[in-house]
Structures are given as C-alpha cells and as structure tokens.
Amino acid sequence: MVKRLFPVVALVAVVTILAILAVWGWRRTREAAAFSEPYHVHTHTGADYIIQLRSTTLGRAANEYIVIVTARFENPGSSDLVLQRDWFVLTDHHHEYFQPSTNGAQTAAIHLPPHGVTEHVLLSYHLPAASLNGTLTLLAGQDYWVIVKTAQPFRPNLSNGKFIVFHRRDW
C-alpha cells in the first residue's frame, strides 16, 4: 500500500512546487512590466512627451542613500523639447520632496529633439535612510506621479560605494 502511495505523493509535491514557482515567476514578470510601462505626459503648454522607467539603482554614500532612476524619454512632437531636470521631484511616504542632483555629468535640462528618443536619462537623488521605509514616487510630469518603490519597508545592508539595481517597484 505504501509503495503505491509514494509515487502519487511525489507527483503531487512536484506539481505543487512547479505551480508555486510558475505563480511566483508570473507575478515578478507582471511587476517588472508594470514598472516599465510608458507614461504619456500632457503638459499645459501642449508639449507632450513619453517617459518610461527602466531601472532604479540604490546605493550608499556616507550617511545617506543615493537613488538613481533611469528613464527613457520620447518626444512625439515636431519641435524641440527641453525638460528641466528639477521638475522630476522624488517624494517619500512622509511627503518630503527631493530634487534631482545636477552634479557631475547631469545637466540641468533634458533636451529632446523632434520625434527623438533619449534612452538613458539618469535622475539622481540623495535620501535619508528613513525614506526607504515606505513608498517613493516620482513626479513624471505636471500633476502626474509614478510609483518607484512600494510601501513595504526596505532595509538594505549596503556598505559605502555599493549599489543594487531593481527593475520593479516591490523592493
């Protein structure tokens, strides 16, 4: 009796494990697709653009964390478009606002040619550790917010100079 039951129990266990892995993989794939969904932003001046998040990088430097949002910008219009980098504000769950850094190679403006695409625009922010305990949202356009990180607390174990890259919101 036991010998007959063993293959059935083993088969049920394997099928259950495969089903759990399939659901887990499907959920992660959907979360990554939702993170990189393109957003069509309409401005009051009539200059429209498309922003698509590519990744979020989290790093540690001294007593703060660095969040780098990598995005793709597209200008569907027929004229040049200049977006000021400081329009793209990051806010945390305490409603503290963080302006993007324009140090180093990051200029104060993002230039998009007519019908042009800029693949890798970096938006860098310096945040305190408490900001990682909840939601982070990015002002992607006038009155248009995009979730960069979900509400679950994140306590990274990063040493200075170390970085982690995420392609989804639930980190």
Structure tokens given for 146: 């995009």
pLDDT for the residue numbered 126: 93
This prediction's pTM: 0.79
pLDDT for the residue numbered 13: 86
Three-state DSSP class for residue 123 = strand
**How open is the CA angle 114-118-121, to the nearest 5 degrees?**
140
pLDDT for the residue numbered 124: 93
Structure tokens given for 148: 């960069």
pLDDT for the residue numbered 150: 87
Contact status, residue 73 vs residue 110, Cβ threshold 8 Å: yes
- Give me the tens of pLDDT residue by residue for the chain, a chain 171 residues long: 566 777 788 888 888 998 889 888 888 777 777 778 888 888 777 778 999 999 999 999 888 999 999 999 999 988 888 888 888 999 998 889 999 987 777 788 899 999 999 989 999 999 998 898 899 999 988 778 889 998 888 877 888 889 999 988 877
